[in-house]
């Protein structure tokens, strides 16, 4: 996978496949909150949503790596955007906080995911939740639209993280904020992992160093950057064995590499002092 387009195609194909699978098939291969264990990487990191108000089982595909909506400080009447909204899990929980006076917009670039989310929202009868197909590097949303942005284990799948955080800055209202759960690294992964498509779509090989990730957020203009959660992700030996030899697994475990799920919060300043040109002109 050498180009951004190739990476996006891998991710699109994998998540289209997941969207078209039954919920039961996704759960039986899950090594996350359900406690079972198969050989898929993409769902070993999921946290348990079932105790949160607004939770709807049909929207939960077990693909997240945190509970960002729980930490997002959403208020009644807010406009919330969920990046990489999948079948609608975080969007529906966000609606519980916004109430009927608020608005929730989910964005996903996989057509089967959008279709599944729209089926769910139709069944639930919500008229203030909508799902838009689009690339989060170029969001189909006007500037200064959202009070809050959430995202769950999605930005690590995006090749140009600088562009995504620039878009988040553009779309948030002045004084707005985000809460994002994502996978980051401390230390280096085995080099062969970066060429394995399954590991990219599984959120592992697309992850970057934690300090670099937080630095990109600061460079985009955000303030009050705060880690709300930091959890080590342990990949089971049976999954590691799909990609590494026994000696390579031993070397990996001896290394200082740490794969972590973080939930990070940051605010867009109420006044933009970056001395750049108008939003939409492309220079910021």
Task: Give the model confidence (pLDDT) of 170-213 as tens digits.
Answer: 999 999 999 999 989 898 877 766 655 445 444 465 788 999 99
> Can you give the residue ranges of every domain in the chain?
4-267
B/e letters for 188-223, b = 16+ CB within 10 Å, e = fewer, are ebbeebeebbbbbbbbbbbbbebeebbebbeebbbe
Predicted confidence (pLDDT) at residue 62 exceeds the cutoff of 70: yes
Angle between helices 111-124 and 4-20 (to 10 degrees): 40
Question: Average of pLDDT values for 119-135?
Answer: 96
Alpha helices of the chain — where are they, by DSSP H? 4-20, 23-28, 68-71, 89-98, 111-124, 161-171, 197-201, 210-219, 237-240, 246-254
- How far is residue 169's CA from residue 13's CA, in Å, rounded to a whole number? 28
Name 214's Cβ contacts closer than 8 Å, sequence gap at least 6. 225, 264
**What pLDDT does residue 38 have?**
42
Name 247's Cβ contacts closer than 8 Å, sequence gap at least 6. none
264 beta partners: 180, 227
Name 45's Cβ contacts closer than 8 Å, sequence gap at least 6. 32, 64, 65, 153, 183, 203, 233, 261
**What pLDDT does residue 44 have?**
54
More confident residue, 220 or 189: 220
SS3 state at 153: coil
**What pLDDT does residue 36 have?**
34
* Span 9-19, pLDDT tens digits: 655 656 556 66
Question: Average of pLDDT values for 156-175?
Answer: 94
Closest CA to 130 of 151, 107, 105: 105
Q: Which tokens sit at 19?
A: 């969207």
Predicted confidence (pLDDT) at residue 28 exceeds the cutoff of 70: no
With cut-offs at 50, 70 and 90, classify the pLDDT of residue 56. Answer: confident
Q: How does the average pLDDT of the chain come out, rounded?
A: 82
| Residue 66 backbone dihedrals phi, psi, to 5 degrees | -175, -170
With cut-offs at 50, 70 and 90, classify the pLDDT of residue 119. Answer: very high
Question: Average of pLDDT values for 57-76?
Answer: 89
Superfamily designation of domain 4-267: Vaccinia Virus protein VP39 (3.40.50.150)
* Span 94-111, pLDDT tens digits: 999 999 999 999 999 999
Closest CA to 198 of 161, 162, 157, 164: 157
Question: Average of pLDDT values for 58-67?
Answer: 82
pTM (predicted TM-score) = 0.83
**What pLDDT does residue 228 have?**
97
**What pLDDT does residue 55 have?**
81
Among the residue ranges 48-52, 117-121, 135-139, 276-280, the one predicted with the least confidence is 276-280
**What pLDDT does residue 37 have?**
37
């Amino acid at each position: 996978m050498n180009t951004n387009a190739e990476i996006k195609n891998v991710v699109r194909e994998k998540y289209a496949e997941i969207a078209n699978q039954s919920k039961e098939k996704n759960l039986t291969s899950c090594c996350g909150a359900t406690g079972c264990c198969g050989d898929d990487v993409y769902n070993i990191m999921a946290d348990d949503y079932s105790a949160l108000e607004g939770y709807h089982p049909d929207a939960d595909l077990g693909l997240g790596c945190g509970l960002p909506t729980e930490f997002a400080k959403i208020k009644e009447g807010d406009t919330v955007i969920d990046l990489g909204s999948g079948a609608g899990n975080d969007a529906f929980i966000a609606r519980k906080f916004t109430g009927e006076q608020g608005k929730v917009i989910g964005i996903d670039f996989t057509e089967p995911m959008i279709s599944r989310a729209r089926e769910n929202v139709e069944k639930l009868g919500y008229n203030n939740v909508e799902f838009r197909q689009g690339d989060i590097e170029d969001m189909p949303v006007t500037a200064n639209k959202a009070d809050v942005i959430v995202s769950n284990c999605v930005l690590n799948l995006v090749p140009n993280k600088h562009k995504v955080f620039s878009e988040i800055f553009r779309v948030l209202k002045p004084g707005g904020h985000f809460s994002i759960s994502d996978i980051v690294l401390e230390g280096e992964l085995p080099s062969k992992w970066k060429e394995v498509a399954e590991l990219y779509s599984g959120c592992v090989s697309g992850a970057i160093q934690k300090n670099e990730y937080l630095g990109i957020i600061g460079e985009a203009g955000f303030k009050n950057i705060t880690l709300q959660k930091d959890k080590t992700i342990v990949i089971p030996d049976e999954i590691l064995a799909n990609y590494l030899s026994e000696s390579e697994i031993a070397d990996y475990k001896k290394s200082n590499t740490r794969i972590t799920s973080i939930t990070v919060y940051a605010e867009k300043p109420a006044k933009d002092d970056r001395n750049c040109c108008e939003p939409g002109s492309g220079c910021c």
